[in-house]
């Protein structure tokens, strides 16, 4: 059975600072005259007298980052006019080289002209001739070109990924690259989201590329009227979207868009929808202050009171449905008898009041099964299921925790995040809609804000397109 999946990009955190260096290059090439051919020299990067060491090693010639005295030979160069992540990628690389060699590598923009024969590591679209390329948006290239190591992508996103990939090519045990280095690849992590469009009652699925303000439309579900969305994988129907709005809840085939199940007498103000593995659809309704449970295979239903209920999320670990209301999160155990009757029991030991009012959304923290994302009127929290506490510590935080009125949120496996909240633009259809999707790209342990604009759209709820419950 096909399942909607997300591709994770593993990145290592080093922005917090460079690790303690080794004292000196310890490979065999540092020994004076021990099989080393000092074939090329430069007068620019490290001052007069420093040399870039090359060593014959079969078919590949090694190009060391330091000279025989362990001093840095290369300068790290980035474009004078660029965005924050490229500046930070240069620092990421400087730290990685420091950890591998113990040498202090200088970095600067391309505004400083290169001396003749200068050894440089070029990051991105610098003004050096070697940085010229014809790469597509997600493609990147890593290669040696004379005295230059060239790391460049078809976008800032691809360039940043290329720097992380370049780090994998060297280590303390091997502080060099080979002169025949030539890598061409793609930054292929998929960031796929679905958003409810209040303008035409549709749900639109997009692929997002970091630092590209225009998303790519993948598919559109028309006339679904969704203020609550989730994606699940079922044995019987395959991949489905469960959604609810007003007094209607639906289960829709993800591939075909066909309606599998529909309920039109849901308590009013439906804001959240979830499909349990046992075939029960849970709906959180704000105006009626209820969490309702319906069985897809019959007429059975059960309704539980919860003030201003806005979100529901099934938890396979604890075997409960979490629900967010106006002032607290509750948990419900849901069983179905052989005859199809639904029994719902609140686990009151998991009732968790929160400081701020206006609970709005729940979503899985995909890298931690014991955590959930929770948004209230004034903040975003990480909810700990075990301790039942609310934390404001968000990995790589970019001020995201203090964003008010977040209507939908979630994270990708690499730590990148997505949110929607009202933009209060003059063209907004409602006070709760937005034309902007807020994407936060996780790179080397830090979130980088990269807004995605969808002019003339009126978005409300957003979801990561992933069928996993946690």
* Series of mean pLDDT values for 10-residue runs along the chain (470 residues): 44 46 40 29 34 55 96 98 96 98 97 91 98 97 97 98 98 97 95 93 95 93 90 96 96 97 94 96 97 92 96 97 97 93 97 88 94 91 95 81 83 94 70 87 94 87 95
Residue 198: what pLDDT? 87
Which pLDDT belongs to residue 6? Answer: 46
DSSP 108-147: EETTSPPPTT--EEEESS-SSGGG-----TTEEEEEEETT
Quick one: pLDDT at residue 428? 63
pLDDT at 37: 28
* CB distance 328 to 322 below 8 Å: no
User: What is the rounded distance in angstroms from the CA atom of residue 470 to the CA atom of residue 353?
Assistant: 22
- Per-position b or e across 52-90, b if 16+ CB within 10 A of its CB: bbbbeeeeebbbbbbbbebbbbbbbbbbeebeebbbbbb
pTM of the model: 0.86
- Could you give the C-alpha distances from 429 to 33, 140, 363, 435, 458, in angstroms and in order? 74, 40, 26, 10, 6
- pLDDT of 397 reads 77
Quote the pLDDT of residue 59.
56
Is the CA virtual torsion 462, 292, 309, 289 positive or negative?
Answer: positive
Domains of the chain, first to last: 28-186 (3.30.379.10), 192-464 (2.130.10.10)
């Amino acid at each position: 059975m096909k399942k909607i999946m997300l591709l994770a990009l593993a990145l290592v955190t080093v922005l917090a600072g460079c690790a303690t260096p080794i004292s000196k290059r310890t490979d065999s090439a540092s020994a004076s005259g021990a099989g080393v051919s000092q074939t090329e020299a430069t007068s620019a990067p490290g001052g007069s007298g420093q040399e870039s060491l090359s060593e014959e090693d079969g078919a590949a010639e090694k190009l060391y980052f330091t000279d025989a005295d362990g001093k840095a030979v290369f300068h790290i160069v980035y474009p004078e006019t660029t965005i924050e992540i490229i500046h930070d990628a240069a620092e990421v690389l400087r730290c990685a080289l420091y950890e591998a060699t113990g040498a202090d590598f200088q970095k600067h923009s391309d505004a400083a002209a290169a001396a003749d024969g200068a050894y440089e590591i070029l990051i991105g679209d610098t003004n050096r001739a070697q940085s010229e390329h014809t790469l597509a948006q997600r493609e990147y290239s890593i290669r040696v070109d004379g005295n230059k190591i060239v790391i460049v992508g078809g976008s800032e996103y691809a360039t940043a990924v290329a720097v992380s990939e370049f780090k994998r090519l060297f280590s303390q045990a091997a502080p060099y690259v080979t002169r025949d280095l030539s890598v061409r690849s793609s930054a292929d992590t998929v960031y796929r989201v679905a958003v409810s469009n209040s303008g035409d009652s549709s749900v639109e699925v997009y692929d997002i590329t970091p630092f590209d303000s225009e998303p790519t439309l993948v598919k559109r579900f028309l006339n679904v009227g969704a203020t609550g969305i989730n994606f699940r994988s079922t044995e019987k129907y395959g991949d489905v979207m469960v959604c609810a709005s007003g007094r209607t809840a639906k289960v829709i085939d993800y591939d075909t868009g066909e309606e599998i199940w529909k309920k039109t007498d849901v308590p009013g103000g439906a804001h959240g929808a979830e499909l349990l593995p046992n075939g029960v659809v849970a709906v959180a309704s704000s105006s009626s202050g209820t969490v309702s449970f319906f069985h897809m295979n019959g007429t059975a239903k059960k309704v539980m009171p919860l003030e201003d209920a806005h979100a529901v999320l099934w938890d396979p670990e604890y075997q409960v449905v979490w629900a967010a209301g106006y002032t607290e999160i509750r948990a419900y155990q849901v069983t179905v008898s052989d005859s199809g009757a639904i029994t719902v029991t609140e686990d009151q030991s998991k009732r968790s009041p929160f400081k701020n009012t206006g609970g709005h959304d729940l979503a899985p923290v995909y890298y931690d099964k014991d955590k959930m994302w929770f948004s209230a009127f004034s903040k975003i929290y990480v909810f700990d299921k075990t301790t039942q506490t609310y934390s404001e510590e968000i990995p790589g935080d970019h001020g995201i925790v203090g964003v008010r009125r977040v209507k939908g949120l979630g994270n990708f496996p690499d730590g990148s995040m997505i949110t929607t909240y009202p933009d209060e633009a003059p063209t907004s259809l409602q006070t709760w809609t937005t034309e902007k999707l807020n994407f936060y790209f996780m790179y080397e342990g830090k979130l980088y804000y990269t807004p995605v604009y969808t002019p003339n759209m009126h978005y409300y709820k957003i979801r990561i397109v992933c069928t996993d419950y946690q």
